[in-house]
Amino acid sequence: MRSRTQAVLWLAGLAGVVAIGVVSGTQHVLTLSIQTMTLAALALSWNILGGYAGQISLGHAAFFGLGALITRELWLGGSSLVLAVAAAVAVTAAVAAIVGIPMLRFRDIYFAIGTLALGVAVFITSGNLWPGITSLPADDLRDYDFTSRFFMTLGVLLVAILVSVWLKHSKLGLGMTAVRDDEEAAEATGVNAFAHKMIAFVISASLAALAGSAFAYFSASYFPNFAFSVVWTFEAILVVFIGGVGTIVGPILGSIFFVVGRDALPSGIDEFQVALFGVLFIVVVLLFPGGLTEGAQKLLGGAPNRSQSPADKPTTRGGKELV
């Protein structure tokens, strides 16, 4: 009964989003919807690595930017959008597999610092190699269609959701959570920790590239290195923790909260947005350690059902908890 209710709620939500794309003729509403879905897809991709496998990456924007760059270059160069997106995802997956070999040898804070250094290095390099603005041709700008961008981004979000659902209920996903909770114990039971972390890393990077492709298709003009900015990483992490780490609906709720809340703020306080959302983040985490997902479940009278987040798990060494 519970699974049937969840399916109905997911279908109702999907129908509501599709209705926005079909009925709404307001560019502002469509733009907010596209931004929300892009961030939600990126957050879901990070959640696979950080929420499922417990690997806190601070360089996730590198894969988002790579997906955006390859898609933009191939698409504006004359390739079909489908081919450009496929190439972006494939190349990003290959790069992630290569980068993951040394990176995933690090653990905990060292992995986070290593990925942050990688992300910053890629951001600086992309700015030097592509210093100009990438803009759509005049003909494309004249025929710019928000609806097609909306449904492409919706498709990207659905792919991220379906992959997350599959992992949540698969043996592979269970292996990832076992590695997250206690890597030594997982290894002792026959789980190949490195292989599971590598698979999570590659899947996460591929979905981030897919979100970057949606961003590249939607944006009329931007500096190429903007897609590599660490801001994308921190926004994804922020909305995951606001919504609920290790959950599927959490990154979506967090993205809605973040994008709509940011848009509702007065335009004159742009410089205070970071501080304001930092305070809101602290309040949400203090009231609902499991994020907005836990808060919604409490309001509906249900027991919280979330995976243990990396922040929740005890620090262990040799199977013993360290206090």
Q: Within a domain: residue 196?
A: yes
Q: What average pLDDT does range 77-103 have in this prediction?
A: 96
Q: Which domain holds residue 35?
A: 27-229
pLDDT the model gives residue 269: 62
Residue at 102 is within a domain = yes
Task: Give yes or no for residue 170 having a pLDDT over 50.
Answer: yes
Average pLDDT of the residues of the chain: 85
Q: Which residues of 45-55 are buried (b: 16+ CB within 10 A; e: fewer)?
A: bbbbbbbbbbb
pLDDT of 284 > 90? The answer is no
In a domain, 189, yes or no: yes
Range with the lowest mean pLDDT among 44-48, 66-70, 243-247, 311-315?
A: 311-315
Q: Give the helix, strand, coil percentages of the chain, each rounded to 5.
A: 75, 0, 20
Beta strand spans in 130-194 (E) = 134-135
Q: Is residue 290 part of a domain?
A: no
Least confident piece of the model among 181-190, 233-242, 313-322:
313-322
Average pLDDT over residues 57-69: 96
Query: Does any domain span residue 48?
Result: yes
- Angle between helices 230-243 and 249-264 in degrees, nearest 10: 110
Would 184 be classed as within a structural domain? yes
Whole-angstrom distance, CA of residue 274 vs CA of residue 279: 9
pLDDT tens across 25-45, in order?
Answer: 688 889 999 999 999 999 999
- Amino acid at the residue 9: L
Residue 272 above 50 pLDDT?
yes
Asked, for residue 136, whether it belongs to a domain, the answer is yes
Position 15 in a domain: no
The domain total for the chain is 1
Q: Please name which of 166, 231, 159 lies closest in space to residue 199, comparing C-alpha atoms.
A: 166
Please say if the pLDDT value at position 208 is more than 70. yes
Using left for φ > 0, alpha for ψ between -120 and 50, and beta otherwise, residue 316 falls in beta
